[in-house]
Structure formats: structure tokens, C-alpha cells
Amino acid sequence: MKAIVQTTEGDPSALEIQEVAKPELQPGEVLVKIAAAGVNRADLSQAQGNYPPPKGGSEIIGLECAGEIADAGDTDRSVGEKVGA
């Protein structure tokens, strides 16, 4: 899958779209096929090293997205359901 990857630690201008391994879903999680995404202040702060992801959270930068569920995991959601996060 593609994700935003920081290529130089601490440099928020060093963000690139790269191929990464698909994450393994944890209980209560879904996998979203992204149709649109945004980069906000919190994303840039994380890229500067000032706003770490929550413990156990993904290292992939990006807090805003819209798309559809590609894998509903163990949730009561449905594949193809349109979502925003």
C-alpha cells in the first residue's frame, strides 16, 4: 500500500508517498482505502518530532482522510462503507 513516509527525521518538508507493508489490523480497527487525505498542523508537528503518535499507534503520518472500508476486521462495519477520519 502507499503511505506518507518521512525520509529525513525532524524535517517536515521531507514527506514522500512510498510503498509500505499493509498494517495488521488490531481488534476494533478497519483498513480504509483512502480517496483523499490532508496534511494538518499536528502532522507537521509530528514530522518535526514534537508530537509523537500515541503509544502503540501507527508511525504513518496523516490524521485526516476520507475513503471506503477495504477490510472491516472484527468490527460491525461493512467493506465498501464510506468513512472519514
Residue 15 placed within a domain: no
Residue 70: predicted pLDDT: 97
Sign of CA pseudo-dihedral 61, 66, 70, 71 = positive
The total number of structural domains that make up the chain: 1
Q: In terms of residue numbers, what domain contains 41?
A: 23-84
Residue 61 placed within a domain: yes
Residue 84: predicted pLDDT: 96
Beta-bridge partners for 3? 18
Beta-bridge partners for 14? none
Mean pLDDT by groups of 10 residues along the chain of 85 residues: 88 88 93 92 87 80 92 98 96
Residue 59 placed within a domain: yes
Phi, psi of 79 (to 5 degrees): -60, 135
